[in-house]
Structure 1
Amino acid sequence: MEVDRLSSEEYPAFYQDYINNIPREASLGMLFKSNIENLKDITRTISPDKFSYRYAPEKWSVAEVLQHLIDVERVFQYRALCIARGDKTSLPGFDHEDYVFKSEAGNRSPDSLREEAKIVRSSSIALYNSFSEPVLMRKGNMNNAPASVRAIGFIIVGHTRHHIKILREKYL
């Protein structure tokens, strides 16, 4: 399954930038794996003492960015699972800013954040490996907009790529 096969009707327009930044020639499975490796590599180039660094007062620290990626991936896993199982519930949005500020990410070690990110991604890979092609095509309602199971997988990858780019540009 490649991103080119997605229809814009499979995800909220808000996520278009994430979808646009995904390599067209790679499968979702390959993207999940390379994406987490890229995150691991970039966070290893940032010294542990810089994990509390903010490039501007109102911006997140490196630790908070990592915790945000972990939290968002978990939320999107849940959304994908609900839609895959045919749940007709309108899945609510969430305040990612509030999640970050209440996460206490600054109290965690860089290694613990990297390890949790790896575990959460392994869980995403296992979840998506369990979905058949018809399940990947199922659509549900995510934050008052239609979304397919497969689109949610690409959104996870695109969201991580977005934050990797910010880490490269602002924290290195």
Structure 2
Amino acid sequence: MTTLQLNENEYAPFYKGYINVLGDVNLYEVLNDSFNDLIETLQKLPEEKLTYRYEEGKWTIKELVQHIIDAERILSYRALRFSRNDATDLPGFNEDWYVDNSNGNERDFKDILNEFSLVRKASISLFQSFTSEMLAYTGSSNESDMTVRALGFIIAGHQTHHLKVIKEKYL
């Protein structure tokens, strides 16, 4: 399955940028490739880069990666719920509040990258467990419908978007 097989009605307009940043890619390949890109780009950064802010009020690299982890957990949870035909409208989350309460800057960056690795491996395993029928199931979050498969692409696109910001603004 590729992004070109998605219809725009499978996700809220808010997520379009995360889908578009990926181009035409296979879901399972992009989950792997985007993971590798982030790890390869960030694992050898000097400590002073990890807590740098390119502008007042912007997140540090540590906070950005923690945000990616938190968002991936939430999006994967939504995918699990939707894949089980759960019709409950799931709430959103305030990303700034999560970052402010993450303690990301106080953590060892190797531990953050290890956590990201474990979360991504779990996400890949989760999406590989879905049948094609499950991937097409729809659920609701923030009163917007989305499919399970769209959530997989959103996970990869969200991470790709933030890695692009890191490369442009921090490195």
- What does residue 18 of structure 1 align with? 18
| 1:37-59 CA-partner distances (Å, limit 9, x unpaired) | 01101112421222111111200
* SS of corresponding position for 1:58: coil
State how far apart, in whole Å, the 1-side matches of 2:126 and 2:10 are.
19
| 1:76-106 CA-partner distances (Å, limit 9, x unpaired) | 0100000000111001011010000000001
Tell me the TM-score normalised to structure 2 length: 0.98
- What does residue 141 of structure 1 align with? 140
- What does residue 4 of structure 2 align with? 4
- What does residue 52 of structure 1 align with? 51
Q: Which runs of 5+ in 2 are unaligned?
A: none
* SS of corresponding position for 1:141: strand
State how far apart, in whole Å, the 1-side matches of 2:106 and 2:65 are.
13
State how far apart, in whole Å, the 2-side matches of 1:116 and 1:72 are.
13
State how far apart, in whole Å, the 1-side matches of 2:30 and 2:103 are.
29
State how far apart, in whole Å, the 2-side matches of 1:14 and 1:20 are.
11
Matched, 1:66 2:75: no
- The correspondence of residues 1-172 of structure 1 with structure 2, limited to 5 A, is 1-24=1-24, 26-172=25-171
Runs of 4+ in 1 over 3 A off after TM superposition: none
Tell me the TM-score normalised to structure 1 length: 0.97
Per-residue deviation, 1:16: 0.5
What's the % identity of the aligned pairs?
Answer: 39
* SS of corresponding position for 1:22: coil
Q: Which runs of 5+ in 1 are unaligned?
A: none
State how far apart, in whole Å, the 2-side matches of 1:47 and 1:145 are.
41
Q: CA RMSD in A?
A: 0.8
Aligned residue pairs total: 171
State how far apart, in whole Å, the 1-side matches of 2:18 and 2:87 are.
25
State how far apart, in whole Å, the 2-side matches of 1:117 and 1:23 are.
23
State how far apart, in whole Å, the 1-side matches of 2:44 and 2:13 are.
33
On the 8 A contact 2:12/2:146 being kept in 1, the answer is yes
State how far apart, in whole Å, the 2-side matches of 1:118 and 1:6 are.
27
State how far apart, in whole Å, the 1-side matches of 2:60 and 2:69 are.
14
